[in-house]
């Protein structure tokens, strides 16, 4: 294990399981069993074979030649966008549904914001023939119609959530309440390294395949198993957790997390949690979150629905606090511009989330002999409407 947590699920002072007693038995059952089950050989065999044959792993580590030339360095893209369902999310949903099956659960629930995790969950439920209910904020149901249609076609029931601000955080609350009301048969598949222990750890383990492959691929392509820098986008932080996992203790690797700066950090319209946030509890976890002086959680904003979360995973709060990761922010404009740049130079349309990581390339001084990995967490098909609405004449680079 490369993330050090104590037995209560704390990374330093962050994490834990701040859940009402109503949820204790569910969480405790999971916390007592997840490591034992995941480490079993038959679990690993089934998980790895599905990642290979169903998801299409290993995802390529692609040397982006023209992008590298532009920034005078060596940029590799970890192509999570090429996974089945179009993002890294499925690494986690496959792991969790196999766990659910082994724990004898028959009913799957999930939360989703943009719909990517909802689609990844609905997909594995279809694969495993399990009942699937996805909670989605009413506003997001309207904003993300194509993903709603996908989930329905895959056989999931999409339940619009009208409480609170009607977005991802409220969908998460509602999924947690569903779990409280249906103890016993239900398994809650959380989509990021957030929520009460053991979720952050469990999701990080399932995403760790990203850096596991990176080590082998870098050795093959560069003769060395580590890069100088890894750049990821971070909302809850699951793709970042996976990309950092096997490098946490290798201090030669600089870890750079890019948060959504929205319309600008000081505009009140951003999701720059680590800059604007303070310590507190969201979804059962002690972490950094955006909140008022009264401890009410603030609804964030980003052009990218996947980064639009008022907290960050507790392990990231810890990594930031201890100085292990560095945080940058990219605004909507910078991200869209970076998305167009990658499309034009490499023929890859990135998800808006991943475009935030790419935007950081403009902000960092590189040297010619450096090796940089950008985790390309998802593909941009879902974001075409947003890309095309942008005033592209201003921003398409030469």
Partner 1 sequence: MGKIKINNIFGRKENILSIYLTAGYPVINSMPDLAIALAQAGVNFLELGMPFSDPLADGQTIQYSSNVALKNGITLEKYFDQVARIRDKIDIPLIFMGYFNQLLKFGIEKFLSNCVETGIDGMIIPDLPPEHFEKKYKEIFDKYDLSLSFLVTPTTTESRIKYIDKLSSGFVYLVSTSSTTGKIDKFTNEQAEYFKKIKNLNLNNPVIIGFGISSRDKFLLANKYADGAIIGSAYIKTLKNSANYILETKNFVNKILKK
Give the DSSP letter string of 281-346: EETTEEEEE-B-TTSPBPP---SSGGG--SB--HHHHHHHHTTSEEEEEEEHHHHHHHHHHHHHHH
User: Is residue 321 exposed (0-12), middle (13-18) or buried (19+ Cβ within 10 Å)?
Assistant: middle
Query: Which one from 166, 346, 377, 382 is the annotated catalytic residue?
Result: 377
Q: Which residues bind partner 1 (CB under 8 A)?
A: 8, 16-26, 163-164, 169-170, 173, 176-177, 180-181, 183, 278-284, 291, 293-297
- Choose among 113, 117, 116: nearest CA to 93: 117
Q: Shortest distance, CB of residue 264 to partner 1, whole angstroms?
A: 24
Q: Which is nearer to partner 1, 58 or 164 (CB)?
A: 164
User: Is 377 labeled as catalytic in the residue annotation?
Assistant: yes
Q: Which is nearer to partner 1, 26 or 116 (CB)?
A: 26
Cα 279–chain centre separation: 21
CA distance 316 to 242: 12
Q: Which is nearer to partner 1, 232 or 291 (CB)?
A: 291
Query: Which one from 78, 89, 169, 288 is the annotated catalytic residue?
Result: 89
- In contact, 131 and 106? CB cutoff 8 Å: yes
Give the DSSP letter string of 164-212: TTSSHHHHHHHHHHHHHHSTTTEEEE-SSS-SSTTHHHHHHHHHTHHHH
* Helix, strand, coil percentages in the chain from 3-state DSSP, rounded to 5: 50, 20, 30
User: Is 89 labeled as catalytic in the residue annotation?
Assistant: yes
- Choose among 168, 185, 163: nearest CA to 26: 185
Q: Shortest distance, CB of residue 135 to partner 1, whole angstroms?
A: 13
Burial 63-72 (b: 16+ CB within 10 A, else e): ebeebbeebe
Q: Which is nearer to partner 1, 168 or 330 (CB)?
A: 168
Q: Which is nearer to partner 1, 79 or 283 (CB)?
A: 283
Q: Which is nearer to partner 1, 5 or 19 (CB)?
A: 19
Query: Which one from 68, 78, 111, 353 is the annotated catalytic residue?
Result: 111
Q: Shortest distance, CB of residue 180 to partner 1, whole angstroms?
A: 6
Cβ-proximal residues to 70 (8 Å cutoff; 6+ apart), any chain: 341, 345
CA distance 202 to 150: 26
Q: Shortest distance, CB of residue 295 to partner 1, whole angstroms?
A: 3
Q: Is the dihedral of CA 145, 267, 311, 327 positive or negative?
A: positive
Q: Which is nearer to partner 1, 178 or 346 (CB)?
A: 178
Q: Shortest distance, CB of residue 370 to partner 1, whole angstroms?
A: 41
- In contact, 3 and 204? CB cutoff 8 Å: yes
Q: Shortest distance, CB of residue 7 to partner 1, whole angstroms?
A: 10
* Number of residues that make up the chain: 398
Q: Shortest distance, CB of residue 145 to partner 1, whole angstroms?
A: 26
User: Is 111 labeled as catalytic in the residue annotation?
Assistant: yes
Token pair listed for 203: 């999701």
The residues assigned a catalytic role are: 89, 111, 377
């Amino acid at each position: 294990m490369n993330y050090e947590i104590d037995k209560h699920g704390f990374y330093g002072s962050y994490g834990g399981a701040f859940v009402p007693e109503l949820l204790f038995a569910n969480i405790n059952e999971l916390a007592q069993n997840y490591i034992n089950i995941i480490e079993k050989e038959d679990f690993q065999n089934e998980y790895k074979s599905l990642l290979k044959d169903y998801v299409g792993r290993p995802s390529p580590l692609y040397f982006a030649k023209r992008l590298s030339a532009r920034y005078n360095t060596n940029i590799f893209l970890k192509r999570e966008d090429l996974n089945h369902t179009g993002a890294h999310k499925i690494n986690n949903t496959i792991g969790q549904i196999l766990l659910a099956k082994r724990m004898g659960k028959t009913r799957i629930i999930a939360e989703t914001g943009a719909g990517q995790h909802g689609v990844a969950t609905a997909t594995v439920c279809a694969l495993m023939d399990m009942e699937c209910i996805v909670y989605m904020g009413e506003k997001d149901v309207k904003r993300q119609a194509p993903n709603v249609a996908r989930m329905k076609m895959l056989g999931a029931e999409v339940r619009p959530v009208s409480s609170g601000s009607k977005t991802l955080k409220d969908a998460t609350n509602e999924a947690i309440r569903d779990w409280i009301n249906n103890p016993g048969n239900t398994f809650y598949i959380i989509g990021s390294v957030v929520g009460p222990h053991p979720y952050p750890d469990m999701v990080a383990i399932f995403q760790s395949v990203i850096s596991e492959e990176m080590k082998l691929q870098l050795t093959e392509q560069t003769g060395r198993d580590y890069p100088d820098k890894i750049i990821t986008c971070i909302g809850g932080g699951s793709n970042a957790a996976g990309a950092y996992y096997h490098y946490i203790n290798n201090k030669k690797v600089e870890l750079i997390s890019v948060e959504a700066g929205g319309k600008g950090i000081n505009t009140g319209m951003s999701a720059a949690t680590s800059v604007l946030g303070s310590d507190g509890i969201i979804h059962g976890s002690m972490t950094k979150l955006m909140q008022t002086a009264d401890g009410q959680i603030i609804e964030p904003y980003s052009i990218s629905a996947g980064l639009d979360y008022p907290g960050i995973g507790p392990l990231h709060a810890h990594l930031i606090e201890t100085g292990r990761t560095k945080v940058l922010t990219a605004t909507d404009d910078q991200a869209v511009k970076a998305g167009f740049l990658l499309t034009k130079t490499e023929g890859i349309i990135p998800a808006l989330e991943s475009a935030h990581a790419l935007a950081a390339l403009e902000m960092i001084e590189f040297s010619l002999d450096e090796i940089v990995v950008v985790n390309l967490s998802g593909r941009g098909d879902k974001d075409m409407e947003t890309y095309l609405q942008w005033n592209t004449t201003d921003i398409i680079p030469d």
